[in-house]
Chain A
Amino acid sequence: MIRYEEATKRYGGGPPAVDRLTLEVPAGQTCVLVGPSGGGKTTALKMVNRLVEPTSGRVLIDGRDVASTDPVTLRRGIGYVIQQVGLFPHLDVAANVATVPRLLGWDRRRIDARVDELLDLVGLEPATYRHRKPDELSGGQRQRVGVARALAADPPILLMDEPFGAVDPVTRARLQDEFLRLQRTLRRTVVLVTHDIDEALRLGDRLAVLATGGRLEQYGTPADVLARPATPFVADFVGAGRTLRRLDLLSARDALSPCAPGADAGGPVLPPTASLSDAMAALLTSDAPAVRVVEAGLPLGVVSLESIRAALRRDAAAATDEPSGDRVS
């Protein structure tokens, strides 16, 4: 668990880069720091591994102030991924991934086995890529090596600063999917920085929206932030498309209404796991008043415009009741 307590950073006598940030990231969850540039996202991230020391306030990991831990020891226990990846260009993929295990003095056999395991994990065939140099890799492959390197010593915490920022949109989407897949099994405590609200909504269990000047505008689940933006800044940052984005986060199951008797002839069919945006698309492109939801051949009900409206209303109400961000997607 990571906890910021009134953490503030000022450079010189200027305005704060991070202003009295207080938030808690529960173990095993992904917290996305999102906001426009100048919001102090990276500064806040670097407070966790002491690349930045707060001017006042503190950051705790599992209840312990990071300032009381030797920075070198602290950092070896925290995975770190940066946008430019920062692979060491003079070392091959295996040596890059082995960086922290080597610093920790693992023996060679253990390191070799771990490197292969990690390359498999991030989808790079070890036999092919082990001895490649960073400049022989594509941008996406470099990012994968960066993630493998950060995970090498199995750190419970992972810090990621715009980890998918330097690749093309297609590769980015694929890397995001892989991140979600990895995180489902690994369950690390992740703090991830991005300026991209879509990426934040997609990857985060919780979002911390930071405004210029390092002020925390809202901290909550993606559904929370979309359904109930806490301030005009958040509403503006999330954008006019926020209702449509909420449809991505809800499934057909959330908007089921009973089948009208005898009204099930024709019309589009979707599984209950389909998102409401898929259902909406199906409604818009067919003449049918409702989409039939079918699981394993059994009709579960229908989704209509009315039931989608009702689901959005229920979701907004639920988001209000929940203590902010107890939902794990």
Chain B
Amino acid sequence: MDHRPELWSETASHARLVALALLVAVPPAVALGVAAARRPRLAALALGAAGVIFTIPSLALYALLVAPLGLGTAPAVAALALYSVLPVLRNTVVGLTEVPADAIEAARGMGMTETQALWRVRLPLALPVVVGGVRVAAVTAVGVASVAALVAAGGLGDSIFAGLRTNDSTEVLAATFLIAALALAVDGSLALLERGLRRGP
């Protein structure tokens, strides 16, 4: 396979897009989830908005973002980040809601402030579910990032579109295989992390 060197660097830039998007999306999504966990109206609003974004086709979202952000990494990372908000936000809300009420009552009853109860009890207990959301977001982003080649952001999409243009099915297949492998690797490692957290440190 004479395309091999390109494929490796495209895999790296593909992973980089996904990582950047998560880096941008996860902290605010978790923060929003924390805020929404005890405010049902905010939760409905935020989940509704994130849900609407999630339904926009990726091609359309990339195109919409090119106007303000130009071509390249920026619109790709922005689109992937927007898609990542929903699963992370939803799982943060669910994870925090599922924290056993007796643990929260004990925390309050022993004199933790709301902030201490959040950091010492509620977030640690919700963490495995939050990581589950990050996992869904990451796997989704690995797939959606394939289309990022259209806004000149690189990634394995480059090889797929090149292969389609030159009718090189080997190249298309090789890139597709690498995307699938990347998705499986991301999924597997985050699943391990999630399981480890469930068992506790």
Contact = CB atoms under 8 A, between A and B. Distances in A.
Given A86-B102, A87-B103, A88-B103, A76 B110 contact: yes
Interface stretch (A5-13, A67-75, A121-129, A190-198): A67-75
A112 B171 CA distance: 61
A103 B110 CA distance: 9
B113 A72 contact: yes
A80 B121 contact: no
A107 B13 CA distance: 47
A26 B116 CA distance: 33
Interface residues of A, number: 25
B102 A75 contact: no
A82 B111 contact: no
A87 B111 contact: no
Given A100-B111, A103-B111, A103-B112, A87 B125 contact: no
Interface in B65-104: 100, 102-103
A302 to B, nearest CB: 52
A127 B15 CA distance: 46
Contacts of B103: 86-89
A99 B100 contact: no
A75 B109 contact: yes
Interface of chain B, helix or strand or loop or mixed? helix
13 contacts: A49-B109, A71-B111, A74-B111, A75-B109, A75-B110, A80-B106, A80-B110, A82-B105, A86-B100, A86-B103, A86-B109, A89-B103, A103-B110
A90 B124 contact: yes
A238 interface: no
B164 to A, nearest CB: 49
Given A82-B102, A86-B103, A89-B103, A75 B108 contact: yes
Contact of A90 (B105, B110, B113, B200): B200
Contacts of B124: 90
A82 B200 CA distance: 23
Interface in A72-103: 72-77, 80, 82, 84-90, 99-100, 103
A76 B100 CA distance: 21
B125 A82 contact: no
A133 B124 CA distance: 15
A82 B8 CA distance: 57
B201 interface: yes
A76 B105 contact: no
A244 interface: no
A51 B112 contact: no
A230 to B, nearest CB: 32
Interface in B149-201: 200-201
Contact of B109 (A73, A77, A80, A88): A80
Contact of A86 (B106, B120, B201): B106
